[in-house]
């Protein structure tokens, strides 16, 4: 005989089951309000560091001219006065004519048979990712040139039909997941309609309908009207609209959406990165449609639930509404602690270039470590791009960077992985964020530069000095109000000897022991009895 208590339990169970079923049955709609039911995954905020590559047909000519190697297909068709920033594309056009012949006889499509990836080994790439300390790997699906590195059924212009004759995305996806890493894809094809605009304007091989799936099918504006554009010298100037303005056709936008969905459906990526190519308002409905499709597919595949699909969708600027995806900053980042986890995408090269160019200097590992610590102190994640050769191998200096980065993380990783920002992110030196001649920020640390992270339990505070003080003494002004009464222990991670600490009117004064053997940033671990005291 059932008691009233038994019936109460049964009713409670049924109600809870109904509520769960209702919440689990919710789906994302292609509306901003619906997409803003989004929470970034914990695995992503724990990861802190991912690797990425710029690799494709453009890796064959491997010439950056006055801009970027991965934009070779754009600039090779650009004649004099057709590019902004002081004819930045002309050097590539002249190089192409001299090296391969005029674009009307040797087009971008003719590089494809030369992109063979004959030495590409997905397992070696995945091992490098592990050795470098990255927790996810993002594979280039297709750049602006729209040559797909996956087994697409929607275009013949792909790495299975041509060039390598291999499913490059599929191979690396299996290798990465086999090692317990998260897998992402990178898709830049929305801007394909404009990438080859000089090919269309100057009527080179893009005029052949046979090549439209590679070069796009944009609407070319041949009006004699003028338009105001940036001229690269900090001023605006008027130029004839007929010199190069194009807009996406319905075919271009529909093609983008279909391929973008296919890439997500075939490889079920944990992270999907977009560049800025779909910034025009005309793309908005398709941006929303893909967001809903990606999140619903993640839920359907068991990755997460409505509200927390457990995948990352990256966007730049305001192309997705705040709270509907993860904001990405190219070669930049936030100046304060973010409300939500965010991402910096950056490259081992130091100027506009991202694709492989023989002999190009890469950044010092120390700068990458400092940048990483700054990013994670503000609730960010770093996705760092490398540039393989066309055969699929990495230059030795890039591999060395991975080894050095991984070696440092092996010692100091507890101040990085699975951490969260403290109430304040740190002290900033006077050289941090200075811009170089190309306009990019430089991450040059001084002895004043320290960054803070903490463990999830909020019982351990990590103070990382980005540069070792020559006198062995640190002064941390932003922690001048930190109460040390509950401090249980303090130590230099990977170091030996006693660390002395005291409060003064100037700030928190720390006397360090002997400099440890490892290079780069130097984290101190402060463990408290209970919660870390507040400084606010």
For residues 94-119, give the mean pLDDT.
Answer: 98
Which of the listed CATH numbers 2.60.40.10, 3.40.50.300, 3.10.20.30, 2.60.40.1180 matches domain 426-528? 2.60.40.1180
Band of residue 277 on the pLDDT scale cut at 50, 70, 90: very high
Domain boundaries, the chain: 42-330, 426-528
Asked whether the predicted pLDDT for residue 242 surpasses 90, the reply is: no
Asked whether the predicted pLDDT for residue 244 surpasses 70, the reply is: no
Q: 426-528: same fold as 42-330?
A: no
Band of residue 117 on the pLDDT scale cut at 50, 70, 90: very high
Which of the listed CATH numbers 3.10.20.740, 3.40.50.12780, 1.20.1250.20, 3.20.20.80 matches domain 42-330? 3.20.20.80
Residue 435 confidence (pLDDT): 83
For residues 372-400, give the mean pLDDT.
Answer: 98
Whether 182 and 270 have beta carbons less than 8 Å apart is answered as yes
**Average per-residue pLDDT for the chain:** 92
Whether 54 and 330 have beta carbons less than 8 Å apart is answered as no
Spell out the residues 6+ positions from residue 498 whose beta carbon is closer than 8 angstroms to its own: 513
Exposure string over 257-284, b if 16+ CB within 10 A, otherwise e: bebbbbbbebbbbbbbbbbebbbeeebe
Through-space distance between the first and last CA atoms of the chain, rounded to whole angstroms: 60
Residue 81 confidence (pLDDT): 85
Spell out the residues 6+ positions from residue 358 whose beta carbon is closer than 8 angstroms to its own: 62, 395
Asked whether the predicted pLDDT for residue 64 surpasses 80, the reply is: yes
CA distance 331 to 442: 10
Residue 15 confidence (pLDDT): 42
Asked whether the predicted pLDDT for residue 211 surpasses 70, the reply is: yes
The HSE-up count of residue 188 (CA atoms within 13 Å, CB side) is 19
């Amino acid at each position: 005989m059932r008691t009233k208590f038994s019936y109460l339990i049964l009713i409670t169970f049924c109600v809870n089951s109904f509520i769960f079923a209702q919440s689990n049955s919710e789906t994302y709609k292609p509306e901003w309000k619906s997409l803003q039911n989004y929470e970034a995954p914990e695995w992503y905020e724990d990861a802190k560091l991912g690797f990425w590559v710029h690799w494709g047909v453009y890796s064959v000519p491997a010439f950056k001219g006055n801009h970027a190697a991965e934009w070779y297909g754009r600039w090779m068709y650009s004649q004099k006065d057709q590019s902004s920033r002081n004819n930045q594309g002309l050097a590539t056009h002249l190089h192409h004519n001299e090296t391969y012949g005029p674009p009307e006889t040797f087009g971008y499509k003719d590089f494809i048979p030369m992109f063979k990836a004959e030495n590409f080994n997905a397992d070696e790439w995945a091992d490098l990712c592990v050795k470098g300390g990255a927790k996810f790997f993002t594979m280039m699906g297709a750049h602006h040139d729209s040559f797909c590195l996956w087994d697409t059924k929607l275009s013949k212009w792909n790495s299975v039909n041509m060039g390598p004759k291999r499913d490059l995305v599929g191979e690396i996806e299996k290798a990465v997941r086999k090692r317990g890493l998260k897998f992402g894809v990178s898709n830049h094809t929305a801007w394909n309609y404009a990438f080859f605009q000089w090919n269309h304007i100057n009527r080179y091989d893009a005029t052949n309908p046979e090549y439209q799936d590679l070069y796009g099918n944009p609407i070319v504006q041949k009006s004699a009207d003028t338009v105001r554009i940036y001229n690269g010298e900090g001023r605006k100037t008027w130029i004839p609209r007929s010199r190069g303005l194009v807009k996406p056709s319905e075919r271009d936008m529909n093609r983008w959406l279909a391929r973008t969905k296919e890439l997500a459906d075939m490889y079920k990526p944990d992270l999907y990165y977009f560049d800025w190519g779909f910034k025009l308002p005309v793309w908005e409905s398709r941006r929303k449609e893909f967001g809903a499709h990606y999140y619903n597919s993640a839920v359907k595949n068991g990755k997460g639930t409505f509200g927390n699909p457990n995948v990352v969708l990256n966007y730049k600027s305001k192309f997705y509404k705040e709270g509907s995806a993860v904001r990405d900053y190219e070669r930049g980042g936030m100046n304060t602690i973010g409300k939500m986890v965010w991402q910096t995408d950056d490259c081992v090269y130091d100027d506009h270039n991202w694709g492989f160019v023989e002999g190009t200097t890469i950044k010092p590992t120390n700068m990458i470590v400092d940048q990483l610590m700054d990013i994670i102190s503000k609730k960010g994640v770093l996705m760092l791009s490398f540039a393989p050769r066309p055969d699929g191998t990495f230059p030795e200096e890039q591999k060395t960077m991975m080894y050095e980065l991984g070696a440092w993380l092996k010692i100091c990783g507890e101040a990085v992985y699975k951490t969260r920002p403290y109430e304040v992110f740190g002290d900033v030196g006077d050289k941090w964020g200075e811009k170089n001649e190309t306009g990019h920020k430089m991450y040059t640390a001084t002895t004043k530069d320290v960054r803070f992270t903490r463990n999830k339990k909020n019982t351990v505070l990590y103070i990382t000095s980005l540069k070792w003080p020559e006198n062995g003494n640190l002064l941390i002004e932003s922690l001048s109000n930190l109460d040390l009464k509950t401090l249980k222990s303090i130590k230099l991670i990977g170091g030996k000897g006693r660390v002395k600490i005291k409060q003064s009117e100037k700030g928190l004064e720390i006397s360090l022991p002997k400099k440890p053997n490892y290079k780069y940033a130097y984290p101190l671990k402060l463990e408290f009895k209970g919660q870390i005291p507040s400084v606010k």
